[in-house]
A = this chain, B = another copy of it.
Amino acid sequence: MDQPSFIVPSSSTAQQVYDWLHDRILRGDLAPGARLSETEIAGQVGVSRQPVREAFIRLTAAGLAEVRPQRGTFIGRISVGAVLSARLIREAVESDLIRMVSATTSPALLAQLDQQLEAQREASARQHVEDFIALDDQFHRSLAKAAGHADVWDVLEGLKSQMNRLRYITARVFDHQKLLDQHTAIVEALRDGHADRAEQAMRLHLRELLTDLPEIARNKPEFFTK
C-alpha cells in the first residue's frame, strides 16, 4: 500500500491529500468507479476526516470524483461526452494557435521542436509510457507558448484531465509511431511555412482519439459513462 511518505507542514494537509489522490487518479492507479472512503483515506495518511473530505470536494469539482450523499464517494468514471467535448475544444484552439505560430515561426523554434521530436522518438523506442506522455504534452505546450498563449494551455489543463486519464489507462494500446509521424508532419509544415497544411496536420492529429475511443470504451466499459 503506497501512501505519502510523510506530511510536510509546508502545504496544508488537505492540499497534500488532494495532490496525492489527484495524481493517483490521473495515472489510473485508482480505477474509475472504485470506492473511496473518508475514514479509510484518513486512516491511511494519518489525519482526520476533515482534510480528506475537503480533498474529495475539490476532486469532485475537477470531475475526478463523485460523492453520493450518505452512500459513498467514488472515483469518477470517464465521461465519454466530456472527453469528446474536450477533444473538440482542443482541436479548435490548437488549430488557431498553430496558425499563429506559422505566422511567426523562427529557426530557433524549429530547432527546439526538432529536439523535442528526437526525445519523443527515444522515449518511444524505450517504450517508456510516462515519458512519452509527458513529452507529448511538452510538444503541444511549446506550440502554445510560441503562439504567445501559454496561459491558454494552462486553462485547458482542467479540461484535459479526463483525456489524460484515458491516455494513462490505455497508453499501451496507442500507436506511438503514428503519433510521432503526425507530430513530425506538423513541424515540417511549419518549416515550409505552410499554414493551411500545418492546421490540417494538427486537426488530423487531434482526431486520432475519435478512432481510438470506441475501441477503448469497448475494452473497458466499466471505466466509462455516457
Contacts and interface: CB of A to CB of B under 8 A. Distances in A.
A58 interface: yes
A27 to B, nearest CB: 21
Interface residues of A, number: 28
B93 A149 contact: no
Interface in A151-191: 151-152, 154-156, 158-159
Interface string A16-58: 0000000000000000000000000000000000000110011
Interface stretch (A78-86, A120-128, A209-217): A78-86
Interface in A63-108: 69, 81-82, 84-86, 88-89, 91-93, 95-96
A97 B62 CA distance: 25
B159 A155 contact: yes
B156 A89 contact: yes
A89 to B, nearest CB: 6
A1 interface: no
Contacts of A69: 12
Contact of A57 (B58, B86, B91): B58
B85 A96 contact: no
B85 A151 contact: yes
Nearest to A69: B12
B58 A88 contact: no
Contacts of A86: 155
A112 to B, nearest CB: 23
A132 to B, nearest CB: 26
A94 to B, nearest CB: 8
A54 B12 CA distance: 15
A91 B96 contact: yes
B89 A155 contact: yes
Contacts of A156: 89
B54 A149 contact: no
A88 B93 contact: yes
A149 B85 contact: yes
B96 A155 contact: no
Nearest to A97: B92
A57 B61 CA distance: 9
